[in-house]
Chain A
Amino acid sequence: MEIENEIRIVFPAKSCNEAMARMTAAVVASQLDPSAAEIIDIKTAVSEAVTNCIVHAYKDDIGKIEMTCRILKGSIFYIKIKDSGCGIQDIKKAMEPLFTTAPDEERAGLGFAVMESFMDSVRVTGGPGKGTCVVMKKRILPRTYRQAGCERNGSDNANERTEQ
């Protein structure tokens, strides 16, 4: 898909960077003129992926996290969050709601479920010793759609409403 803009940052896996990362993603996404609700969806999903790098991938050290934000043709926000940490044993299982390897740290096992529900697509690659890469996309509805009362929230389908 055609890339219209790309911003890449690399930062240490420190918890103070969780807010920095989601704000940066929101600033890039703002070029697509998203609604307040869409911005919160993106911030929440980014926060999940970055926190996972910090608490799981680099449990015992402070490695590097690479975040790439793109604006793709067709009003699509793309984000890639990549670490070189321990990697995930079984990605399918890790993505199941409530699955967590850190229940004693009060983790709910809902990070991937949040990413999947707040973004249009979530793709996870990697493996033990190979690190983890999370790619997410979200189409931002043009403002004209929203002004016509078609703001999308959750699973609502904008097309259905415009046809009425």
Chain B
Amino acid sequence: MSVKTEITDGKITAYLSGEIDHHNAGPIRNEIDNALEKNHPEELVLDFSEVSFMDSSGIGLVMGRYKLLKELGGRLIIRNAPPAIKKVMKLAGIDLLATIF
């Protein structure tokens, strides 16, 4: 599991990779939140292209970032989620809160 953040004007892109479960959701959250607090972006992009597994701990992670961004006045974009990851997100209704590409 790893996360790389890229900051361009008004936008943070977090490239997630590996498996997102309860064991490693914490470090991912800290990394993203550090970047959010420092930069207050208009947009957070979570790129899931390298994510091989995600359970409801990942849902909690995405929902938590959605709420945080709403408070900061930004929006959440979810990008490149593989079919299995999209299936979990749809079950949670994340597609109704965030834009999924």
Q: Which residue of A lies closest to B59 (CB)?
A: A108
Within the assembled complex, what's the spacing in Å between the Cα atoms of A44 and B57?
11
Asked whether any CB of chain B lies closer than 8 Å to the CB of A48, the reply is: yes
Name the interface residues of A19-66: CB closer than 8 Å to any CB of B: 19, 22, 37, 40, 43-44, 47-48, 51, 54-55
**Are A18 and B21 in contact, CB atoms less than 8 angstroms apart?**
yes
**Are B55 and A19 in contact, CB atoms less than 8 angstroms apart?**
no
Known contacts A19-B21, A106-B64; A47 and B91 CB within 8 A of each other: no
- The tally of residues in A whose CB lies under 8 Å from a CB in B reads 24
In terms of DSSP, what is the predominant structure of the interface of chain A?
helix
Say which residue of B55, B60, B91, B92 sits within 8 Å of A106 (CB atoms): B60
**Are A15 and B63 in contact, CB atoms less than 8 angstroms apart?**
no
Contacts of B54 in A (CB 8 A): 44
**Are A43 and B22 in contact, CB atoms less than 8 angstroms apart?**
no
- Of A4-12, A88-96, A111-119, A134-142, the one touching chain B: A111-119
| Chain B: interface size category | 20 to 34
**Are A114 and B61 in contact, CB atoms less than 8 angstroms apart?**
no
**Are A114 and B91 in contact, CB atoms less than 8 angstroms apart?**
yes
4 closest A-B pairs by beta carbon, nearest first, are A15-B23, A106-B60, A106-B64, A47-B55
Known: A108-B56, A108-B60, A114-B56. 17 other contacts (CB 8 A): A15-B23, A16-B23, A18-B23, A19-B21, A40-B84, A43-B53, A47-B55, A48-B56, A51-B21, A51-B55, A51-B57, A54-B22, A55-B22, A106-B60, A106-B61, A110-B56, A114-B88
